[in-house]
Structure 1
């Protein structure tokens, strides 16, 4: 039973709370309390005017209803209205100086609603009790007072929607009761008009409520932002390394944060009222040791300009040590645009500047050797060129490339290589002067910029000292290392007046020094430039020739020394350019290797040679030289296998010639490739045997089919006993190993006869035949297959 009775009561109470919360939709509890306080404060501000309106309208009603039969009750009613108005006004007067509340509970809204109900109830009585007995004139006065109080009270309470609704509803009930009692049509019309006004009041109340909500929320956000800024500012002033300061219109210090006084090590009483440039502990003499810093006079000038500035660095002294402070500030102007002072911030950037200096140093210096890098070289080269243009001061660029450095890495390890580079850098520092620039360009390459005025001999003297010093043994942790250095020199303005030209010319001179035997220096001359231009032209033309299939093959025969029959022909590449003429293979083959064309060219040579050899007699083999660079291209074995299959040439008729340079740096891939090619049945010949890095271990490690004796031993075999002994030993060695021998460069019948007596199996040279086109070789083979004794001795 108790439960059934409490449920309607709870529903009624919930409805009452919901009514009191009208206009608070979507608000948090905190926002609702703050907005409620603002609404009630607005009602409170209107209280004096509302009470004055109550007193005035009560007086008007007394006068207008003086002859009304209910006049006594009108006086009683008026007394009640007057009492409530006076009590409410007195309470407002007593509380007028109190600060506005920050928040308000629903109890405040409830009080406003009660006040509205009581006040509107009294004014509703005016219509409900006295309208029926009033005269026509009195009724008009009652209607006017009722409408006026409804509008005034409704709008005065508009910021509190429940109070405005209660006030308007009760006033409407009173009016409806009076009009129903009188039963007049005009009253009904006036009531309808009243309903419209009441609806407008209620709608305006909700609109005003929404407007206040938006305004209060914005104010709350602003207050929160201000509080956060205040907290951050307080924390900044207490804990940050930066410090704040402010100047007045006379540039005198008027405000500063505590950190400021810690930095200047002076109390407030000694700095306030003084110019900032007198307060700062300037060290103008210290600017000799620091760059891009300012003194007291410059600070005074920039402040007198009344212009904003940022990161204005000044040189100061603290505890006897130099430091750098950074100042930033903006001027402040009043509403009339008059300057009223500066507001600024400062910080100690000594450590940051030192760190920046270290970073800049690292960006311009090599981390391994602590000499300059390309960045520093380019900057100093630019400064040297600027001095050349302004003062005609000549200088030289020396490019250095260490000789045999790779052997040190291979023999002693990369750690020793790094140690050697550091030792070289130390040596160069000792040899160069303070005005010289030393830079490591990468790997084992260095560069030096040397002031020479008008005397290039100064560069030559330095280069000579460098060559001699770096030729001495270096004692490393892993042992003693011996290297050398090649130096190329270009002098400005003789060899160029811009950086790119000088570097390129010095590089050409370095290339010449290396070509002349290394461990020496060379100056640039115009012939080097011409050679470089020709090489560049050859690179471009060679690419075009390969693309256009403009290369050709010639063939040089090899004959059997006993029978004189042609047993083999070596394919030799030829390039006849329309404008450059015949270009030697010795010139364009290295270029092809450098620019990565050798693989494509080598494939073409093998394919073209095999196609040509298919028309030769079965007893004649094709010999093709393989460049060491070809072994770096993928698919060499596959290409040879497919070429032989497509051309129909038996593998035994193909003979591939390799040089000792390939074997010197061979790895497992080279060994496996050679073994696979030999497994096809292709013959492998060792070309130029007896020169370079000849080693008998090659003959045990690789199974060759032929050894070709280099022509340097053949040219003087008739007159030089040593050459004859070496050739005889090689022939005997080949015979014992079961491989065939071929002699290159045979040009006389005496050489031919001697080699035949010594047992050399094959002869190649101009005596037998020069390199010739395929058609000419075929005619030669058709005309005679043997070289008889009469032809040899002819």
Structure 2
């Protein structure tokens, strides 16, 4: 055989030997195999002294059986060899058993066990091979008994190491079978069968025992790993975590604790051990419980002496002169008889967490800009006030405050100054309100106050009066001095309601009235406000339906030439006749339409409907349509006018759009561009109600108007009031000098008509010359066969 052949054969034999040594290790990782192998060898090592004792005893039995025989000397030599090997291995195993158990073992240990099993089984097999053929029947019986017993006992003793158990049983069995078969006796054949059965049982039992041992060791390994992880985590917890562990004995004295606790206590383990936990708390009776109002040392003592478990009990402590909070949780421990044995617990310093929670709760209930309460705090205050009202009949009031002219401060001084003003206002309100009052900012420039502990409405009136006076004073700001005011609406419980929604709604209605009455004042809620609010809500709903159903109509009031009396223009006026509510005045529904955003749609319809109606009138009679400032807020005004003129076919010069001074006071780029575009269309623009409101002559230079309309407030007493007559005269002259026509509204008497005509007013409008009328009636006048367009003499 070549060298390569020997090499391959040697390699194959080594692989086979390695596989044989790994019997019972199938499906194990290398780490598991090393650990399980150590347990298997340790089990054999533990049984080795007893096994070696059995070897010595059986050797002595064999020696006694051959006493007086010619073979005694050879048997004695064999027995001494057995005893020496057994004694040496038994003593070595006993010594190793006193050492700490090994955690891992390599294949070397299994190989040594196999070698030992081969040597020992060979010596026992020699008893049968050498002495059985020459022995007597009695001696043969002893040899067979010893051989069978040793094969079974040794195999089972080595069962945790399958390679060693199989080596011991198979080698001993094969040699013994060889000797018995040579003897050619009937008993030999029976023993052959017995050896085969024993060998099969030993092999199967050894493998099964290894499998069970593998399962047990794997479970133990997992348990050890889990214990190690828990131990590592526990050590890390005790060393690094903010929490600490503690334990008390049955007398409630400290038995053990984490180093972290001793750091918090500022003492050593020896100083704290065997003392009561409540005695260790850094808390004294004068300060404990403030500012947190929590449990103190005495409360903790009572809790612990109750022998009950507890969780997240917060106790007040004092560290470095500052109050703090510790959170304690513990489980009461009892023995099998139910006797209390102590506590096992955990603690934590939660001072910072509680302070952070307090800050978060404060932020959730307070306005970030002014640091007064917000809606959440107000609602909580209302809930408490209503509860006291129901339980103790404690009356209270709600004051809703809205700052006057705050938007002007923002526009003039900037939003930074507006924020500064709100902070100053909040400080002032806090100084005026009482300690029992709840102050909150609702958003923007709105505040609310819950005024408690009062039975007399005069008390809240006095508070409201102080607030109005205080906020009427000038506020010095970084950007200059700001002057504002405040409007206040007041609702009193239980007179004006017993629940939060009703009280807030009624206070809001009272605030609305205070603002409508001229601002910088307060107003109590009364039932008339509720009735007005209900009607307004009804009007709002019905107006939406009327616009959708096109139920609004246009009436037309003529304007005549003061000299000839002929109609030269007619003003389109909105009218609304409701089937159940009757005729609703424009002064009532138009402001509502402006508030709810319907005015743009209504205005566009009025322009279109007016153009279509006027298109059939005789030329050059014009139609005048009023524009709301809200219509300039959108981008569809110009397009709506252009479409109405195009679709009606009416010349642009016959359309006259009336705007008020309030529009010009809030002028912006959109308003300016829209007015320029309308003028470019050829449409006339009239300045309505001239001389009222916040008049300024500067816009007469900035914008080009075609007509000035003198407000009726100057016309009503023009006959008797020289000042009014002088103002009207000045307006007429101003209009003429600027190239504008002038119209007077509200003319009701012949004397007013004559004065205006003499002063040079070109157009007259009022009940004297014609009331608002439907379009068909006006058309009849315009087409009158005798004197078309003349109306003054029949007015």
Alignment-derived partner of residue 102 in structure 1: 103
Say whether 1:688 aligns with 2:689: yes
**Aligned equivalent of 1:217:** 221
5 Å matches for 1:91-490? 91-122=92-123, 152-167=153-168, 170=171, 174=175, 197=201, 200-201=204-205, 203-204=207-208, 207-208=211-212, 210-236=214-240, 240-265=241-266, 271-286=272-287, 289-318=290-319, 320-451=321-452, 453-490=454-491
Cα pair distance change 1:95/1:288, threshold 3 Å: closer
Closer/same/farther in 2, CA of residues 48 and 636 from structure 1, 3 Å limit: farther
Q: In 1, distance between residues paired with 2:451 and 2:27?
A: 80
Structure 1 match to 2:48: 47
Aligned residue for 1:713, secondary structure, equals: helix
Per the alignment, residue 533 of structure 2 pairs with 532
> Does the CA-based 8 Å contact 1:117-1:166 persist in structure 2?
yes
TM-score of the aligned structures, taking structure 2 as reference length: 0.87
CA distance in 2 between counterparts of 1:467 and 1:537 reads 33
Deviation at 1:293, TM superposition (A): 0.9
Q: Is the 8 A contact 2:156 2:202 kept in 1?
A: no
Structure-2 separation of matches of 1:409 and 1:392: 43
**Count of paired positions:** 791
* Structure 1: gaps (5+ residues): none
Q: Assess if the C-alpha contact under 8 Å between 1:48 and 1:89 holds in 2.
A: yes
Counterpart residue number, 1:590: 591
Is the alpha carbon distance of 1:69 and 1:642 closer, same or farther for their aligned partners in structure 2, counting shifts above 3 Å?
A: farther
Instruction: Using the TM superposition, give the Cα deviation of residue 338 of structure 1 relative to its aligned residue in structure 2, in angstroms.
Output: 2.4
Which residue of structure 2 aligns with residue 633 of structure 1? 634
Give the distance between the partners of 1:771 and 1:722, measured in 2 at CA. Answer: 30
Q: 1:422 to 1:188 in 2, by over 3 A?
A: same
* Superposed displacement of residue 162, structure 1: 3.8
Shift of 1:139: 9.3
1:228 is displaced (CA, Å) by 0.8
Change (3 A) 1:166 1:591: farther
- CA displacement 1:210-246 (0-9 Å, x = unmatched): 414522431331242243134224414xxx5544432
Maintained 8 Å contact 1:151/1:201 = no
SS of 1:783's partner is: coil
- Assess if the C-alpha contact under 8 Å between 2:770 and 2:792 holds in 1: no
Between the aligned partners of 1:763 and 1:178, the Cα distance in structure 2 is 153
Of the structure 1 ranges 187-196 and 330-339, higher mean CA displacement relative to structure 2 is found in 187-196
Spell out the pairing of 1:567-586 with structure 2 (5 A cutoff).
567-586=568-587
Alpha-carbon shift at residue 373 of structure 1 (Å): 2.7
| Contact preservation (8 Å) 2:742, 2:763 | yes
Instruction: State the SS of the aligned residue for 1:245.
Output: strand
Secondary structure at 1:369 match in 2: coil
Deviation digits for residues 4-39 of structure 1 (CA, Å, limit 9, x no counterpart): 976765665555445544555665554443333222
1:310-363, Cα deviation, whole Å (9 max, x unpaired)? 232333445555443332222112233322111223344444444443443343
Kindly tell me: are residues 227 and 431 of structure 1, through their superposed partners in 2, closer, same or farther at Cα, counting changes over 3 Å? closer
Deviation at 1:80, TM superposition (A): 4.9
TM superposition shift of 1:774? 3.0
Output the TM-score relative to the length of structure 1.
0.87
How far has the Cα of 1:92 moved from its partner? 2.0
Deviation string 1:652-698 (CA, Å, 9 cap, x unpaired) is: 44433332222222322232333334444444333323222333333
Take 2:47 and 2:93, find their aligned partners in 1: how far apart are those partners? 10
Q: Which runs of 5+ in 2 are unaligned?
A: none
RMSD of aligned alpha carbons: 3.9
Quick one: distance in 2 between partners of 1:262 and 1:276?
A: 15
Q: Secondary structure of the residue that 2:773 maps to in structure 1?
A: coil
Q: In 1, are the aligned partners of 2:281 and 2:317 still within 8 Å (CA)?
A: yes
Give the superposition deviation at 1:790. Answer: 8.3
SS, match of residue 490 in structure 1: strand
Q: Secondary structure of the residue that 2:460 maps to in structure 1? A: helix
Q: Which moved more, 1:623-632 or 1:168-177?
A: 168-177
Q: Which moved more, 1:609-618 or 1:475-484?
A: 609-618
Contact 1:718 1:724 in 2 (8 A): yes
* Structure 1 counterpart SS, 2:523: strand
Tell whether the 8 Å contact from 2:237 to 2:243 is kept in structure 1 after alignment. no
Q: Please, which moves more after superposition, 148-157 or 772-781?
A: 148-157
Q: Secondary structure at the match of 1:418?
A: helix
